[in-house]
Structure 1
Amino acid sequence: MLKTHIGDKSSPCKMHKKTFVTNAEETSHTRTHTKDKRFSCEVCGKTFKTKPDATIHMRRTHTGEKPFSCKCCDKAFPTKAELKLHVRTHTGEKPYACKVCGKAFTTNTGIKSHMRTHTGEKPFSCEVCGKAFATSSTAIRHMRRIHTGEKRFSCKTCGKTFVTNSEVTSHMRTHTKENRYLCEVCDEALTTSTELKSHMRTHTGNKPYSCKVCGKAFTTSSNAMKHMRRIHIGDKRFNCEVCGKTFVTNAEVTSHMRTHTKEKPYSCEVCNKAFNHKSSVTIHMLKTHIGDKSSPCKMHEKTCVTNAEETPHTRTHRKDKRFSCEVCGKTFTNKSDATIHMRRTHTGEKPFSCKCCDKAFPTNTELKSHVRTHTGEKPYACKVCGKAFTHESVVAMHIRREHTGGKPFSCNGCNKMFATSTHSKIHMRTHTGEKPYACDVCGKAFASITMLKSHMRTHTGEKPFSCEVCGKAFATSSTAIRHMRRIHTGEKRFSCKTCGKTFVTNAEVTSHMRIHTKETPYSCEECGKTFTKQSLAVKHMRRIHSGE
């Protein structure tokens, strides 16, 4: 009667002008000023200002009692207030509307937090670093994640710990396989309403969050924030405790830590193969067990397992290179290529190390390939002759060179044909003069990373390839193979089509053919004299012009 009809609030707070209907309300409110916490938990001793707060704490933390259940879905809650809020998810009721933009909310707390997006008010600050937040819950999460590392909520199924109870609820759906939120467009099931909202934007194309610096738009606020930190301010506030590497987000640290712990928390339900990331399990399932390639390329018959794969592939046709290197500006069709370029060319970072010899690599794929040099594993075999190889791409090259003679890639400068696009690109650099790989020791530059690696061994003295017969060591595998054929087997599998002379390597055939064609592709930069071999041009330069 007093609250609703008469409006009499006769008990004013002595600290400020706020008034209350009853003395009990005024007394309870006063404790927020006096810090009086007279009600304590019988189990853990934690104190509270009011008895209801102590009761709710007991239910949530210790007894798990949830006496209030929903009639629509039978979900239960520890308090009646939480039940009322939950019921609105069924009725769709949102009684609190923003007077500025009209957006509606289910709770008064929600409207208050939202209003701060208009006013810019951030009344809650971190006691350690002073960072300000719009809500108290965000300030508490910040304190736990950044400063204390406290994770008081744990999963009863697997024991994994979390900062907030809501994270536990979301995580539990990975065990129950519960997907409560269904997309009305494509029927994809999502575990949280936030995920559903973000997913819907893939259909609508809506990008409501934009960068204040460059104006680039994003589907989520977190992506806009990550863009700001990565591109404009370079803020990497999260660091790995093992190696010290810094990251833009805590999620990236968690993912990176698996390179140290070797943890693979996600497994395939069919074959139990373990993976670092949940997305890797999905792709594995599609590629290995289902075999569904539902994203066909519109340019030809190639199909991709996921839309994520289809998009970078499509860019190879459109020449769309939207990912650029922050150092040199070179552009790439997908983000992973840009990351690998950064590691190989600029930072030299090699986060993947071999357990057998401690050699490190910039990508996990290169590490896997390297490990086969220790295990001797050759999982890819030629269907024609049965010869086994460590890489699938090497099998394709072998078939073209030895069996079909196919060279589908041609040079635009001289029409020379190649078995692979990589060899074609490297060859093109003989025309353009491009040498993107430079030696850190002497500064000499090379057209390919393979050439640079071989060159680096002239400084380190490393000779990782040895002859199986006499044990002689070599800096490159090709030199070891040539040695084996010349000294031990006498094998000369490559022959000249003009005169029939045989050679150990195909490169020797190419060089020999210039005797017949009179081709002299290498010239002296000083006098213009031409030669059949690059080595002859170098010797000429040293003897005649340099005086060496």
Structure 2
Amino acid sequence: METKKEKAKNQEKETQNYKCPKCKKLFASRKRLTRHLNTTHSEARPHKCPICDSSFKRSDHLKRHMLKHKPDRERIFKCDKCTKSFFTQDTLRKHKRFVHEKELPYKCEWENCGKQFRKRSKLKYHIAKDHKHKKPYKCKVCKSRFDHPSQLKRHQRIHTKEKTNICLQCGMAFMKFYELQKHIKQMHPRIFKCKVCQKEYTNKKSYERHIKKHNPKDFLFVCKHEGCNKIFSCQGSLDVHIKVKHSNTKAHCAKCGKTLSSTSALIKHQKTSCKGVVNNIDQIKIDKMKIVNGIGNIGNNENIENIEKNNEKNSISTQF
């Protein structure tokens, strides 16, 4: 015994006089054939969402999409096989078909393939990429091809001259994002304004360097070694001070055998109080800089002795 639904389907089949010229599918009315051609065989998406960038082939699809933008809307259609819920009965039905029943209605008819897909678009992508070895998304204007629909959409703006990158400060629009960035940098630079003297800077580092002049106490670097408490204007100067003055390594004078607290103290000792006074002061300055910058080895007696020997030779040669 046929049900009413089956009977209606059979009656419809008998009156299917409208054939699709592309896929040979039959339809009972011209209206249904037209809808089929527009949705299946056309890439046009004339129905655009006024809120987001989404576009649709059919007006009822747009209406269904617009429901998502309602803030007070609830997901009242719940799946009885999992915890998910949906806004419409149709989306719930699709969820069950594709997720729980694993329905894959679109099958690849290429020889020795037979792969199945959930969406027609996925099947088209598969055929173009795996069988025809082409990028599946084609521009209708210049025939360029792309791997992803987003790439095609971005490319099509070249032909439509659509400027989607808008400056929020002046309203100017640009085709490319880097053009917008360049515009903002030139026309609307970020201003760093000093609250004390109202001076303005476009560079953050210059601004920070300036405000230190107004509040020097807030930007001082103090040596925390016991009995020192020396103050410096930058971290680099403090680091050099600690390396030279508070290094645990002792320096020994090879000439008189005296032990000093640091390399700088040794150099000062050799220049002033040691019997073997070093005459080449410039060489001492160079070697001191090497030690401070980590090139020389702090507290290395052999290095100091070599410096002294070289300078002693220089002093002897100048006497003759």
TM-score range, shorter chain: 0.3 to 0.5
TM-score normalised by L of structure 1: 0.25
In terms of Rg, which structure is larger? 2
